[in-house]
Structure 1
Amino acid sequence: MAEAYKLDCEAAEADCRFIVQSENEEEAFDLARKHMSEVHGKDYTDDELRADHLQTV
């Protein structure tokens, strides 16, 4: 089974139920960065997302 990359936004923003899950790490980062920027007004680097928010499942 392939690894998947997941961002559960509720872990970062208590009132947000947005979830990103993809087998493609780059796609997961792109979707997570776009969501965090457009919805929450926060900009993250890939390293910040990897360290603080993105899970490998």
Structure 2
Amino acid sequence: MTHAHKLDCEAAESDCRFIIQSENEDEAIELAQNHMKEVHHKELSNEELREEHLQTV
């Protein structure tokens, strides 16, 4: 069974309904970093995203 990597931005930013889901962890992290930078003006490292925001589903 293949696992997907998911970021539900509402967990990080209560007013944002953006969701990323990908089977490729690197792609999910890149998309999440771009979203957080462009929309929320926050720069998060790969580790911060993995440890605090990215879920495996």
TM more than 0.5: yes
| Runs of at least 5 residues in structure 2 that lack an aligned partner in the other structure | none
Q: Which residue pairs with 2:11 in the alignment?
A: 11
Distance 1:20 1:43 in 2: 17
Q: Which residue does 1:34 correspond to in 2?
A: 34
Give TM-score, length-normalised by structure 2. Answer: 0.98
Q: Counterpart of 2:55?
A: 55
Secondary structure at the residue paired with 1:49?
A: helix
Q: Distance in 1 between matches of 2:22 and 2:7?
A: 9
Identity across the alignment (%):
67
Name the count of aligned residue pairs: 57
Q: Which runs of 5+ in 1 are unaligned?
A: none
